[in-house]
Amino acid sequence: MSLFENAKKQFYKSLKYLNFSEDSKKILSQPKEILEVSIPVRMDDGSLEVFTGYRVHYNNILGPTKGGIRYHPDVTLDEVKSLAFWMTFKCAIAGLPFGGGKGGIIVDPKKLSKKELERLSRGFIQSIYDFIGPDIDVPAPDVYTNEMIMGWMADEYSKIARKLTPEVITGKPVSLGGSLGRDDATARGAYYVIKEHVKKLKLNEKDLKVAIQGFGNAGFYIAKLLNDDGFQIVALSDSKGGIYTKNGKLDPESIMKVKEQKGKMEGVYCKGTVCDMIEHEKITNEELLELDVDILIPSAIENQITKKNADKIKAKIVLEIANGPTTPEADEILNKKNITVIPDILANSGGVTVSYFEWVQNKAGYYWTREEVSEKLKPIMVKGYNDMMEAAENNKIDLRTAAYVVGSRRIIEAIEAKGTTAYFREQSK
């Protein structure tokens, strides 16, 4: 079954706990619009390559669509549709005035020079110019895209529009209108959520062992934030593999420092310029998922916890920072094992929330401090968590279904405010 069909299963499950018209289900079962483009790029050696790109508007009933652009050799339309679907509900749960969108280009960015990457990025905006806009669709960074790429894209859009339009793209460099606090927004949002959950369960943070799969931007920042609060970070991994310490805990900042210098992860603790090796063992990403820890944080890519390994998961809490890391079949297994899954559509919504802040600041021409951004993010994440927990407790359902109940309700109310089949049949009598 496709990733998109799997994603819709979660939405359909939530409908059992809502009053809705068939109109709403039909509208939310398919993307509103899909654009596929070919992007010709002149390479440094003079040859021409043509890359395929996608942009999907899933639903815009709550506002302009919002979602990242990823560069990856395995990008597919099915994946982009799924990500746009998740963004629709993520924005609704957070109470943002956005719908869901997503984009991607089939490319291995590591094989391109910086000049080729810039030509590709600007070429993509030239191809989708009429499909995006500050009040239509607002892209952002995603896998293998960054603030520099967003800066190129915003600049290209402004050139075509012949006016400065920073609010068309979020995740830009601060010097080009980006928001302070965007760098750690996804992790900080997840941090606020897990802190609320730990408080609700009355657990001692310093007793909790944490394993994090994915040591990129979000993985690093969530590790740092939790480590600073006393959580025991015992395992970390990136695409090449991971490290695990049975005794003591890992220091994320020291490990990132060495990773940037040597290109690989090592269990170290650095004080000043001196780094001492600490006792650790090498593990695979698969082994990390199965460690006996209190909190497991998938922060890499989708479909990491499946029916093949779900029964081996020992963590008591799974905090999803990656998009779609757990399949529906795995969800069922984890639920039976009483493992709490805090779903991606809430847990990683800090990123899109601070993107919303950036859009607002660009439109207003008034910019906030990092502290103000964090202060505004926390109540949104806490409210999303409390709304989800209330739906879970009232309906006696798992947290993923509860999150979809919250998001679905808000979207369905907006759809049905325009009228339903029953309303128009009644009017025609």
Residues 12, 337, 391: CA angle, nearest 5 degrees: 40
Averaged pLDDT, groups of 10, the chain, 429 residues long: 82 86 88 97 97 97 96 95 93 95 96 97 98 97 92 97 96 95 93 96 92 89 94 88 84 84 73 69 87 92 85 94 88 93 94 96 96 96 96 94 93 86 65
What pLDDT sits at residue 255? 84
Domains along the chain with CATH numbers: 17-176 (3.40.50.10860), 185-347 (3.40.50.720)
What pLDDT sits at residue 193? 97
Q: What secondary structure does DSSP assign to 298-359, as a single string?
A: E-S-S--B-TTTGGG---SEEE--SSS-B-HHHHHHHHHTT-EEE-HHHHTTHHHHHHHHHH
- Known active-site residue 90: no
What pLDDT sits at residue 158? 97
pTM of the predicted protein model: 0.89
Report yes or no: 81 and 56 within 8 Å, Cβ to Cβ: yes
What pLDDT sits at residue 273? 63
Q: What are phi and psi of 212, to 5 degrees?
A: -125, 120
Q: What are phi and psi of 210, to 5 degrees?
A: -125, 135
What pLDDT sits at residue 7? 82
Q: Which two tokens stand for residue 50?
A: 């043509």
Q: Which residues contact 184 (CB under 8 A, 6 or more apart)?
A: 217, 221, 225
How big is the chain, counted in residues? 429
Q: What secondary structure does DSSP assign to 132-178, as a single string?
A: -BTTTEEEEE-TT--HHHHHHHHHHHHHHHTS--GGG--S--GGGTP
Out of 32, 66, 90, 102, pick the active-site residue: 102
What pLDDT sits at residue 274? 63
Rg (CA), the chain: 22
Side-by-side strand order, sheet with 137-141: 33-42, 48-59, 99-106, 65-72, 137-141
